[in-house]
Amino acid sequence: MKHPASPRVVALVGPQGVGKSTLLDSLLRFTKAESMRASGGGAAEGGHGMTFEMSVAGADFLGEHWTFIDCPGATEFSQDARHALMVCDAALVVCDPAPERAAALAPLFTFLDARRIPHLLFVNALDASVTSVRELLESLQGVSSRPLVMREIPLREGGQVVGVVDLVSERAWGEGKDGKPALISLPETERPREEAARRQLLERLADLDDALLEQLLEDVVPAPEALYAQLERAMREDRLVPVFIGSAERGLGLQRLLKGLRHEVPPVEETRARLGLAADGTPLVQSFKTQHLPHTGKFSWVRVWRGEVADGGTLAGGRINGMFRIHGTRQTPAESARAGEVVALGRLEAVRTGDLADLEHVIHPTDWPHAPPPVHQVAVTAEKRSDDVKLPVALTRLTEEDPGLSVDQEADTQMLLLGGQGEMHLREALERLRSRMRVPVVTRPPPVPYRETIRHKSSHHARFKRQSGGHGQFGDVVVDVGPLPRGEGFTFTSAVVGGAVPKQYVPAVEEGVKEGLRRGPLGFPVVDVAVTLTGGTYHSVDSSDQAFRTAGRLAMAEVLPKLEPVLLEPILRMDIHVPREATSRAQRLVTGRRGQILGFDAHPELPGWDVLSAFIPQAELQGFIIELRSASAGLASYMARYDHYTELVGKQAERVVSHQPVAER
């Protein structure tokens, strides 16, 4: 590239624990050391555990500015990664060299391929591996629709990786005395392996370029410049995926990787075009992360797509109140930002994560990735009564910060349910609720909406009569009560003849009956019941709507216990998405929780994955995701929705009925 490109953004993504954060540390150290070599700089970052939230870092390399977004790898935190991918110029996919874990990359590759996001692959931790990279790529190719092309091969000595060979320039790089990469000679014994790998690279490229194909057929050796240009074009157009190798921990392969990024990551102008955003117009930014900070308020992390934005200036019809940019891993106040940059903007109240904002308008793009529905829920109540009002506000903020979370109100109990993508995800959210939002809560398992019904049919006579002072109350009904087929709910009909119960009181009887069904003898709403009003008597002075309503309610209270009430439990239809090697384990988990397998099939989108369909009682869902994830290296997920109610009898039913907190209902 002749002149420096505008600031570019790369998202570091990949399965959990493959070394993304370690790689970012090393890249930052490397670029800092490069730019501070004269003054003898170089920084050491601390260690890190699993990443829960995306983190943004800035770096300069050879006079160009880079923003790296380090994304969490865990399935439960993957929403953040999808958001970062939506605003990056290219994704740096990091993986470890274990061919058996290729399926872990299927969801990511599918996302990248569907959205045509240019990406390159970095095979990390070569220092700790003896597997051949070629074998790894064969497995990975199975889950990528774009051709994966090796740009480098490792150079090993006595089982240890000592360097990498660049297949385009055919030069070998090892570690110099000062830790800097240094040219080393390629041992003759390695030549055949290098030549074979290089031929493969050329053949892949020739598939995309006729001129190159001709050269190959005529045995002309193509110039490295032509090859680099071809690689650059193909990667930017998302027609192939270059593969780099190295070790984040040892700092191996970093320089080659950075140079690859420098040449092959598209500039912001190309990304803007890929996303269908116009090049002309007022400044345009897109938010990809929202944070509510205790003292400073709301911050939106944005990518500037067009023009320049300044602190104090107008955006989304409001005023920008505070601006930060990132140097290394530190936030520093900024005055303005140009196209390509990533900055945090204060107080853009109208802007949600994903929104595009120009001077006056806010648009929520329709293709912004939705979070999957929650797989784990808890009911939450404020620890202190005085926080009751603050809780819904805090929960809304939490979901604004992390759309992978959801808040619902349980229909029967009106309890607030906080849902998330996994147990750890919810635990993190509750911790943030306590520390950042200052609303500590008590949690309990979400209530299961049990129902009850009856098994027998009977006729019943109920009379409500009260004499007190002036005129009394009198309502008298005869009803037929019987079961309906499952799922039919409730019917009420009047078969009264000759005005035994005057027409005007019939609706009151129905109301009373409905009240009486709200809580049956087992403590739950009664469903699948048919009630027919067949007769009754009335009193010209003492009868009233009120009296007939009470009679209707009384009739239910008296007759239901005699009709063999039975508990109904909700059954969910569940689709489990699981890497194939864990399918049978997932099946066992389902049957172990009283589930019924309906079948399984190859996943329509994820190569190497299955979709397992099952019925499972809602009551058995508590904690299911924890077991499912541990049975599938953290990868499997599910979607579940209510399907039907079914009878629950025996010990299980007894337990439900005896645990029913009578006083609360």
Pairing of β 148-150 and β 241-245: parallel
Nearer to Mg ion, 21 or 300 (CB): 21
Using CA atoms, how far residue 364 sits from 290, 315, 369, in Å, is 14, 15, 11
Residue 66 forms beta bridges with which residues?
8, 59
Among 48, 327, 466, 588, binds ligand GTP (CB under 6 A): 48
Distance of CA 487 to the CA centre of its chain: 33
Nearer to Mg ion, 53 or 511 (CB): 53
CB 308 within 8 A of CB 339: yes
Beta carbon of residue 271, minimum distance to Mg ion (angstroms, whole number): 24
Question: CA-CA distance, 393 to 520, in Å (whole number)?
Answer: 36
Residue 342 forms beta bridges with which residues?
303
From the list ligand GTP, Mg ion, none, partner contacted by residue 247 (C-beta under 5 to 8 A by kind)? ligand GTP
Using CA atoms, how far residue 621 sits from 165, 254, 255, 413, 630, in Å, is 51, 45, 48, 19, 15
Nearer to ligand GTP, 32 or 198 (CB): 32
Helix axes 254-264, 20-36, angle to 10 degrees: 90
Beta carbon of residue 428, minimum distance to ligand GTP (angstroms, whole number): 12
Beta carbon of residue 34, minimum distance to ligand GTP (angstroms, whole number): 20
From the list ligand GTP, Mg ion, none, partner contacted by residue 19 (C-beta under 5 to 8 A by kind)? ligand GTP
Question: CA-CA distance, 401 to 90, in Å (whole number)?
Answer: 24
Among 19, 267, 420, 552, binds ligand GTP (CB under 6 A): 19
Beta carbon of residue 619, minimum distance to ligand GTP (angstroms, whole number): 32
Beta carbon of residue 589, minimum distance to ligand GTP (angstroms, whole number): 24
Beta carbon of residue 168, minimum distance to ligand GTP (angstroms, whole number): 23
Q: Which of residues 69-88 bind ligand GTP (CB under 6 A)?
A: 72-74
Beta carbon of residue 47, minimum distance to ligand GTP (angstroms, whole number): 7
Question: Radius of gyration (Cα) for the chain, nearest Å?
Answer: 33
From the list Mg ion, ligand GTP, none, partner contacted by residue 249 (C-beta under 5 to 8 A by kind)? ligand GTP
Among 9, 11, 22, 403, binds ligand GTP (CB under 6 A): 22
Contacts of 589 (CB under 8 A, 6+ apart): 624, 627, 628, 631
Between 226 and 265, how does the x/- string for binding to ligand GTP read (CB under 6 A)? ---------------------xxx----------------
CB 225 within 8 A of CB 209: no
Task: Say whether residue 161 binds ligand GTP (CB under 6 A).
Answer: no
Contacts of 123 (CB under 8 A, 6+ apart): 95, 96, 97, 133, 136, 243, 244, 245, 246
CB 538 within 8 A of CB 578: no
Among 55, 75, 124, 550, binds ligand GTP (CB under 6 A): 124
Question: CA-CA distance, 528 to 521, in Å (whole number)?
Answer: 15
Beta carbon of residue 637, minimum distance to ligand GTP (angstroms, whole number): 16
Beta carbon of residue 583, minimum distance to ligand GTP (angstroms, whole number): 24
Beta carbon of residue 212, minimum distance to ligand GTP (angstroms, whole number): 34
Nearer to ligand GTP, 18 or 496 (CB): 18
Residue keyed to tokens 């930052």? 28
Among 16, 26, 31, 51, binds Mg ion (CB under 5 A): 51
Between 1 and 40, how does the x/- string for binding to Mg ion read (CB under 5 A)? -------------------xx-------------------
Task: Say whether residue 17 binds ligand GTP (CB under 6 A).
Answer: yes
Helix (H, G, I), strand (E, B) or coil at 214: helix
Helices (H) and strands (E) in the chain, counts: 16, 35
Among 1, 43, 50, 196, binds ligand GTP (CB under 6 A): 50
Task: Say whether residue 421 binds ligand GTP (CB under 6 A).
Answer: no
Contacts of 529 (CB under 8 A, 6+ apart): 453, 454, 481, 482, 483, 484, 490, 491, 517
- C-alpha angle 540-546-548 in degrees, rounded to nearest 5: 65
Nearer to ligand GTP, 104 or 378 (CB): 104
- Phi-psi region at 253: left, alpha or beta (left = phi > 0; alpha = psi -120 to 50): left
CB 357 within 8 A of CB 314: no
Hey, what are 162's tokens?
Answer: 């000592």
From the list ligand GTP, Mg ion, none, partner contacted by residue 124 (C-beta under 5 to 8 A by kind)? ligand GTP
Nearer to Mg ion, 21 or 124 (CB): 21
From the list ligand GTP, Mg ion, none, partner contacted by residue 480 (C-beta under 5 to 8 A by kind)? none
Q: Which stretch binds ligand GTP (CB under 6 A): 47-55, 205-213, 355-363, 404-412?
A: 47-55
Question: CA-CA distance, 402 to 291, in Å (whole number)?
Answer: 9
Among 114, 128, 229, 602, binds ligand GTP (CB under 6 A): 128
Number of residues that bind ligand GTP (CB under 6 A): 20
Among 7, 16, 61, 155, binds ligand GTP (CB under 6 A): 16
CA atoms within 13 Å, Cβ hemisphere of 228? 15
Among 127, 232, 269, 575, binds ligand GTP (CB under 6 A): 127
User: What residues line the site for ligand GTP (CB under 6 A)?
Assistant: 16-22, 48, 50-51, 72-74, 124-125, 127-128, 247-249
User: What residues line the site for Mg ion (CB under 5 A)?
Assistant: 20-21, 51
